[in-house]
Amino acid sequence: MKINFKMVCFLSIAIFTMGCAVPQSNDNNTFNSTLWLQTASEYKANAIQAYNSAAHNIRQAITDQSWTAALEQGPNYSSLPPAIILDVDETVLNNSQYQAQLMMDGAAFDPETWNQWMAMASAPALPGAVNFINSVSAMGVEVFYITNRECKPRSEAGPPCPQETDTIDNLLEVGIKEVKPENVLLRREKPEWSSEKKSRREEVASRYRILMLFGDDLGDFLPDVKKNITPMQRDDLVNEYKDNWGVKWFVFSNPIYGSWMGILSDPKSSYLKGY
């Protein structure tokens, strides 16, 4: 059966009693994406493929002292101890349950419900992530997490960054053997740490030789790609660094959210190209 746009609208209305005018980046349109993250074997295979490729290259990355994955790596890095940097959400942890719950509740993203979900520390891991992280750790490689989960006290007298504890709890819960608090770098943990991850990569790169980067967003690899940039300019960057993908840089699929969508101006339907 051929599914056309009218049918998608009808199904959306039937299931969520939400309107459906033109395709936008609102929560109406995350149905298929969320379903894919929760049910598609192809998604799992994609994650395993990325972590397997990384495992295949890790020994060479450790041995070859000229090897670095970070554009922020300064000079004289070859004698620095080795490290990898991973994003958290949709890279190590799968938050599709949060997204699914939003749809079931007819709700939109909200920092409060997102905080509740983080505090549950119950997101499952992406397939392949835990084994890879534990084995790399056992090889003496330092593991860093640079996440845009935001540090924000939940009460006036509360700790300054309960989200860090939640994230560590969740990472341990899925089976990662060790997570050092000082290696988990959250947004606004320092005032100058914005959602642009460049400054946090610089900080890690000043002390470690960065072997590999893992993320679901172009911003997990490159600076200045999250605003004031066109899809074509981003494509050019992906192509410029084509030798890094699958070797030093490992990207995970995230059709639900990300700077890929954030950089599109409204109406987003104007980006659709027919024949």
* Contacting positions for Mg ion (CB under 5 A): 87, 89-90, 216
Q: Is the alpha carbon torsion for 122, 123, 126, 130 positive or negative?
A: negative
Taking the least distance from each CB to Mg ion, the nearer of 208 and 214 is 214
Kindly state the tokens that stand for 216.
């679901």
Taking the least distance from each CB to Mg ion, the nearer of 20 and 91 is 91
Nearest approach, Cβ of 178 to Mg ion (angstroms)?
21
Nearest approach, Cβ of 107 to Mg ion (angstroms)?
21
Taking the least distance from each CB to Mg ion, the nearer of 149 and 248 is 149
Nearest approach, Cβ of 235 to Mg ion (angstroms)?
20
Taking the least distance from each CB to Mg ion, the nearer of 30 and 77 is 30
- Reference 116, options 169, 163, 150; nearest CA is 163
Kindly state the tokens that stand for 234.
């981003």
Which single residue is written with the structure tokens 């642009």? 196
The CA radius of gyration of the chain, in Å to the nearest whole number, is 19
Position with the least CB separation from Mg ion: 89
Nearest approach, Cβ of 254 to Mg ion (angstroms)?
7
CA distance 204 to 190: 14
CA distance 204 to 143: 10
CA distance 221 to 258: 13
Taking the least distance from each CB to Mg ion, the nearer of 72 and 216 is 216
Nearest approach, Cβ of 251 to Mg ion (angstroms)?
10
Q: Is the alpha carbon torsion for 117, 94, 171, 182 positive or negative?
A: negative
Nearest approach, Cβ of 260 to Mg ion (angstroms)?
12
- Asked if residues 101 and 231 have their Cβ atoms less than 8 Å apart, the reply is no
- Asked if residues 146 and 200 have their Cβ atoms less than 8 Å apart, the reply is yes
Taking the least distance from each CB to Mg ion, the nearer of 20 and 170 is 170
